Structure 1
Amino acid sequence: MLWMRLREWVKTALALCPKNVAAEFQLDCMEEDINFLEKMLWRNDQKVGFCHNDLQYGNVMMNDEDQTLTLIDYDCSTYNPVAYDIANHFCEMAGDYHSDTPHILDFNKYPDFEKRHKFVKEYLKPSRKAGGMMSEKEVEQILKDIEKYTVASHIHWALWGIIAGRVNTIEFDYTEYARQRFQQYNLLKHSILNVQ
């Protein structure tokens, strides 16, 4: 569903935005970028599952008594590559939504390789049958996929920011948020996907 949602959001963003904002974010070229990303990222052998797609800390509730976790806010949930969901979770670590500037992101908080590796190994444990072992090759492949899907996560939330800024009345600088996500998208598009 990721690719269909991105294409729909580009159309919505173009319909809502003044021409100068659309030009700043190069929305006219965005559908081409999405087509390219889908071609670069999608493989038939990827693990697909029901994904939350907005797994930031504010959507994870912990019961202090029994230490159980409850996920909330399923409005973005769909079936997607699990690597996308995990990539998005890692990208969300850049946000501090309880600060005076919740729209400002710090991408230095993106987890390092060791933390990502540990997370993926834990994530894959329940999918193994009793006593089954996951191969390091499987872990490495999903880690590679996660890194590539960070690009899709940034474009997803950049488009969301543009749209939300036109339809929400919540006090949040959606345009600046979108600008930061587009900057990360462009940076990673070149460094991770080797796009000129």
Structure 2
Amino acid sequence: MLCGVSLTPDERNAAVLVVGGRHVLSEPDEAYITEDMRDKAYNICREFLSGTWKSISSRDMVFKSVSGGLSNLLYYCSLPETHTPLYGEPSQVLMRMYGQIPSEGSDTTVTESVICTLLSERNLGPKLYGVFPGGRLEEYIPARALTLQQLKDPEISLLISKKLARVHVLQAPLVKEPTWLFNNMNRWLKYARTIKVDTVPIKQQTMAVKLLTVDLAAEVNWLKEFLAKTESPIVFCHNDLQEGNILFMDAPGPKEENMVFIDYEYCAYNYRGFDIANHFCEWMYDYSYPEHPYFKALPGDYPSVEHQRLFIARYLATYTKCLAMTNEPKQPPNMCTVDYVLHEARVFTLASHLFWTLWSIFNAHTSKIKFGYWEYGQARLDAFMELKHDLLQKTSSPGAAPSTNCTPQRVAQP
């Protein structure tokens, strides 16, 4: 997960380290700190940052492990208080170590580094100080991650909508075809077929059997056909916009300017409807729950239609304004109405649920990070099945978009 670190509930009232992730642990996990790791971090900082870093010893360096991301390990490295930078080098950085999720391939890490650099240049994300085999060095940002309650705050939510619109107009050096969504689901599905239940911890075996006996391949194929009935613009998407990945920097100025999205691990060109729907889904999951399974499902907390309309209206106004300042082709007028995007979000909510179901099954068998992956996968699959049933029951043509002959709605100005 990219450009940031997680926080504890008690730390949310202070400047903290924040790591993107779908789960928050209550304390830094010292189990990941070893002398070998300290020495490795020291040598990396010394080589990439130079300056004062070359004049301290490994034991002098402040070194802490901060857990919370569900993919990688992240460490805080700092000069001791007795030393100050000589040539403008940073006094504190974050070191990210890959490897918690095998088989991701080098393309993912290269993409993350490219995107991190792009966002830094656009003042939309932290700086990248170094890339090395197995990880990278990132800027430390004193910031507060949003709480779930703040994510749902009407004022903050509208700021998020504007920031998301600005992300969607970015041009990134990535494949522009929308293959990311189903490529990932099919890859995780293929891995799920290799899981033997007797390799799952005994306490999770019943739930694993329940998940693995569902014909997930059929659900993926059905979803692909269903989504094809709704035309959704392809844009540069964050794809994981939950409260832990939205920071407020401790700096003067407008709130909007101090809001930063982090953790672009899943970024890709994808369907606009997915990014918006996925964010709405995050209202329903609290990752600060301190006991197993380390999350709490809140199915009744999906945004109201009234709030979705406000969010989408602000998003469209900002997106249109930003797009007007570029040479990019404009979207068809019928796709720029609140009703159309509202429909997109409802349909692509299905995609969000099934995507994270398969992600959970994969991680349940590969990740060493403490989280109830099987339970989370079941929660998302239950939500998928319920919405699928609802859509099929309530509409005669469930995947079809609203009439394309409607007059574009006026939307609130940003």
In the TM superposition, residue 111 of structure 1 has moved relative to its aligned partner by 0.6
Count of residue pairs the alignment pairs up? 193
Q: CA contact under 8 A between 2:277 and 2:348: conserved in structure 1?
A: yes
Please name the residue that 1:54 is paired with: 240
d(CA) in 1 for partners of 2:236 and 2:196?
31
Aligned partner (choices 94, 117, 120) of residue 284 of structure 2: 94
- Provide closer, same or farther for how the CA distance between residues 18 and 37 of structure 1 changes in structure 2, counting only shifts above 3 A: same
Aligned partner (choices 163, 171, 184) of residue 5 of structure 1: 184
In the TM superposition, residue 103 of structure 1 has moved relative to its aligned partner by 2.3
Q: Report the 3-state secondary structure (helix = DSSP H, G, I; strand = E; otherwise coil) of the residue aligned with 1:192.
A: helix
Name the stretch that deviates more: 24-33 or 149-158: 24-33
What is the percentage of aligned positions where both structures have the same residue? 32
1:170 equivalent to 2:383? Answer: no
d(CA) in 2 for partners of 1:36 and 1:168?
28
- Provide closer, same or farther for how the CA distance between residues 136 and 2 of structure 1 changes in structure 2, counting only shifts above 3 A: closer
Q: CA contact under 8 A between 2:245 and 2:262: conserved in structure 1?
A: yes
d(CA) in 1 for partners of 2:360 and 2:311?
28
> Unaligned regions of 5+ residues in structure 1, if any?
none
More contact order relative to length (CA 8 Å, sep ≥ 6): 1
Q: Which has the higher strand share?
A: 2
Please name the residue that 1:40 is paired with: 226
Q: CA contact under 8 A between 1:62 and 1:69: conserved in structure 2?
A: yes
- Provide closer, same or farther for how the CA distance between residues 173 and 136 of structure 1 changes in structure 2, counting only shifts above 3 A: closer
- Provide closer, same or farther for how the CA distance between residues 135 and 29 of structure 1 changes in structure 2, counting only shifts above 3 A: closer
Pairing 1:91-170 to 2, within 5 Å after superposition: 91-101=281-291, 102-129=294-321, 138-170=337-369
Q: CA contact under 8 A between 1:157 and 1:181: conserved in structure 2?
A: yes
Aligned partner (choices 25, 30, 35) of residue 211 of structure 2: 25
d(CA) in 2 for partners of 1:114 and 1:44?
22
Q: Which has the higher helix share?
A: 1
- Provide closer, same or farther for how the CA distance between residues 158 and 151 of structure 1 changes in structure 2, counting only shifts above 3 A: same
Q: CA contact under 8 A between 2:316 and 2:336: conserved in structure 1?
A: no
Q: Report the 3-state secondary structure (helix = DSSP H, G, I; strand = E; otherwise coil) of the residue aligned with 2:284.
A: coil
Q: CA contact under 8 A between 1:147 and 1:192: conserved in structure 2?
A: no
- Provide closer, same or farther for how the CA distance between residues 56 and 17 of structure 1 changes in structure 2, counting only shifts above 3 A: farther
In the TM superposition, residue 189 of structure 1 has moved relative to its aligned partner by 1.1
d(CA) in 2 for partners of 1:123 and 1:16?
41
d(CA) in 2 for partners of 1:145 and 1:185?
15
Name the stretch that deviates more: 176-185 or 22-31: 22-31
Q: Which amino acid aligns with 2:390?
A: S
- Provide closer, same or farther for how the CA distance between residues 74 and 189 of structure 1 changes in structure 2, counting only shifts above 3 A: same
Q: Which amino acid aligns with 2:226?
A: M
Report the TM-score, using the length of structure 1 for normalisation: 0.87
Q: CA contact under 8 A between 1:83 and 1:142: conserved in structure 2?
A: yes
- Provide closer, same or farther for how the CA distance between residues 15 and 122 of structure 1 changes in structure 2, counting only shifts above 3 A: same
d(CA) in 2 for partners of 1:75 and 1:27?
30
In the TM superposition, residue 26 of structure 1 has moved relative to its aligned partner by 4.7
Q: CA contact under 8 A between 2:247 and 2:260: conserved in structure 1?
A: yes
In the TM superposition, residue 115 of structure 1 has moved relative to its aligned partner by 0.7
d(CA) in 2 for partners of 1:185 and 1:5?
17
d(CA) in 2 for partners of 1:95 and 1:28?
23
Name the stretch that deviates more: 46-55 or 96-105: 96-105
- Provide closer, same or farther for how the CA distance between residues 174 and 136 of structure 1 changes in structure 2, counting only shifts above 3 A: closer
d(CA) in 2 for partners of 1:163 and 1:136?
35
> Unaligned regions of 5+ residues in structure 2, if any?
1-179, 199-204, 325-332, 395-414
- Provide closer, same or farther for how the CA distance between residues 28 and 182 of structure 1 changes in structure 2, counting only shifts above 3 A: closer
Q: Which amino acid aligns with 1:114?
A: E
- Larger Cα Rg: Structure 1 or Structure 2? 2
- Provide closer, same or farther for how the CA distance between residues 110 and 44 of structure 1 changes in structure 2, counting only shifts above 3 A: closer
